[in-house]
Amino acid sequence: MKKTDNAPGSTPVSGTQTIQRAAFILRLLSAHNRTGMRLADIYRDAMLERSTAHRILQGLVTEQLVTQHPTSKRYYLGSSIYEMGLAAAPRFQLRDVCHPHIKALAEKTEDTVFLTVRSGFNGICVDRLEGSFPIRAFVLEVGRPRPLNIGGGNVAILSTLPDEEIHRICRANESRISEAYPSYSDRVLWDKIKQVRSKGFLLNRVLEAPSALSVAVPIRAPFEKYAVAAVSISAVASRLQNARVESVAALLQETVQQIEQDIAAAHG
């Protein structure tokens, strides 16, 4: 993929783009904060020119959002990030708002329902309700992170982001994807993204269990341009065929509408 800096003589990078790039670098550091990151790794994974990445990093260091080890020269998140994180504690817990809705959905469909939230370049299952149908499909463990470009709920969230941000996330997750899912391709991912954008839901074959399918719908919070979470249903493939796919997708979309209304009320 090409680096995204402007060529000589082209339109300068906007302030919004600079903020997006700085935010992406912070997410990169968050994903690698235990070991830190070299400048070379940062500008490669962020798809930036070296000078641009260095300039952004120096600005972040000045604001104490990033720190650089004096010997190894590796970059880490700075103390101000921790302070901001404490101040940014949510006024409501998304899981608590969603739980009664996904419980009702599991009872109605008899299948397993998942709530997934975005965490940097990952999606994390934060709640799961199992329906009464005796045959269980692939069960995603609560608390397990997966790359944001893998899995029904994750891709539903990813589909709401700008294409440039999606490319960056895929680049950051590239080594993890190639190791765990060697047959997974960008073409497959973009077909799924197009499906969510056109239909409002994703019908997805579960990579870890090819005999299972999932249907997923993204959740948007008030004042948020992009999805903050997704609700998905997984079942054996024979239970998600033809008309039932449309029926389950409609139930999911109705549930997400109710969740979004409750989130809006909680924001008050």
pLDDT bin (cut points 50, 70, 90) of residue 87 is low
Identity of the highest mean pLDDT range in 77-86, 163-172, 204-213, 248-257: 248-257
| Run of H or E including 214 | strand 212-219
Q: In the prediction, which pLDDT does 42 show? A: 93
| Run of H or E including 67 | strand 66-68
Q: Are 111 and 128 in contact (CB under 8 A)?
A: no
Q: In the prediction, which pLDDT does 145 show? A: 84
Per-chain mean pLDDT for the chain = 86
The domains found in the chain, sorted by start residue, are 15-87 (1.10.10.10), 94-267 (3.30.450.40)
Q: In the prediction, which pLDDT does 32 show? A: 84
Average the pLDDT over 38-55 and give the result.
Answer: 93
Q: In the prediction, which pLDDT does 9 show? A: 40
pLDDT bin (cut points 50, 70, 90) of residue 54 is very high
Handedness of CA 115, 251, 228, 118 (dihedral sign): positive
Closest by alpha carbon to 116, among 195, 259, 218? 218
pLDDT bin (cut points 50, 70, 90) of residue 27 is confident
Percent with pLDDT over 70 in the chain: 90
pLDDT bin (cut points 50, 70, 90) of residue 89 is low
How many angstroms separate the CA atoms of 55 and 89, rounded? 30
Q: In the prediction, which pLDDT does 5 show? A: 52
